[in-house]
Structures are given as C-alpha cells and as structure tokens.
Structure 1
Amino acid sequence: MVKVTLVHSEWCHFCPTAKELWRELKEKYDFEYEEVELDTPEGKELAKKFKIRSIPTTIIDDKVVFVGVPDREKASHVVVV
C-alpha cells in the first residue's frame, strides 16, 4: 500500500490547500496518509532526512515526490498505482 506523508506547518499559507487535496484523495483512494507538523521532533527529523527546504512537502513511500501543492491529477496517479 502506498504511504503518503505531508510535511506542513501552521504558519504556511499553502499547507491548508495541500492538506485538503490529500484528505479528499484519501476518501477516494486506498492509501496510508499522515500529516506531520514541521516544528515537531518527527517533522524536524523528516526535514533533516529528506533535506526539506520548502513546505508543504509530500513524501511518498520514503521519497520526496511533491514540493508545494501538488497537481490533483498527478497526485491521483501516484496513489492509484
């Protein structure tokens, strides 16, 4: 099963749009989904591991796939595969 992790922050103006997109896709498709706040220990660990410099960042199956708000169609294709 595909695992999607969205690294976000409360102060980010684009993050709510990315959250909404992934939550809607989660309702439609079967994949694992997790949101991680950047300013938490887990978020800081992910930022270091994946060299995250911008948010929102979407990690899929242990690989950074999208930086910023993903295109809905491209995001859909990634979780359907």
Structure 2
Amino acid sequence: MTKVILVHASWCHVCPAAKKLWQSLKEGHDFDYDEVDFDTPEGEKLAEEYSIMSVPTTIIDGKVAFVGVPNKEKAVSMLS
C-alpha cells in the first residue's frame, strides 16, 4: 500500500490547503496517510533524513514527491 506523509507546520499559511487535498483524496483512494508537524522530534528527524527545507512537503513511499501544495491530478497519479 502506498504510504503518504505530509510534513507541515502550524505557522505555515499554505499547509492547510495541502492537508485538505490529501484528506479529500483519502476518501476515494486507499493509502496510508500521516501528517507530521515539522516542529516536533519526528518532524525534525524527517527534515534531516529527507533534507526538507520548506513545508508543506509530501513524502510518498520514502521519497520526496511534492514541495508545496500538489496538483490534484499529479497527486492521484502518485497513488496508483
């Protein structure tokens, strides 16, 4: 199963749009989904591991797939 991790931050004004996109896709597609706050130990670990410099960043199956809010069609194509 595809694993999607959205790295976000409470201070990010773009992150709510990325959250909304992935949460809406979760309704029609079968994939594991986690949201990780950048300012937590887990978020810091992911930032170091994947060289994340900005949020929102979407990691799909262990690779950075999107920085910023993904295009919906591209996001869906990454789930199949």
Which TM-score applies when normalising by structure 1? 0.98
Q: Does 1:38 align with 2:34?
A: no
- Unaligned segments of structure 1, at least 5 residues: none
- Identity, in percent, stands at 60
Superposed CA RMSD in Å reads 0.4
Partner of 2:7: 7
Which TM-score applies when normalising by structure 2? 0.99
Q: Distance in 2 between matches of 1:47 and 1:64?
A: 11
Q: Does 1:58 align with 2:52?
A: no
Matched residue count: 80
Q: Distance in 1 between matches of 2:18 and 2:27?
A: 14
- Unaligned segments of structure 2, at least 5 residues: none
Partner of 2:71: 71
Q: Find the residue that maps to 1:76 and give its secondary structure.
A: helix
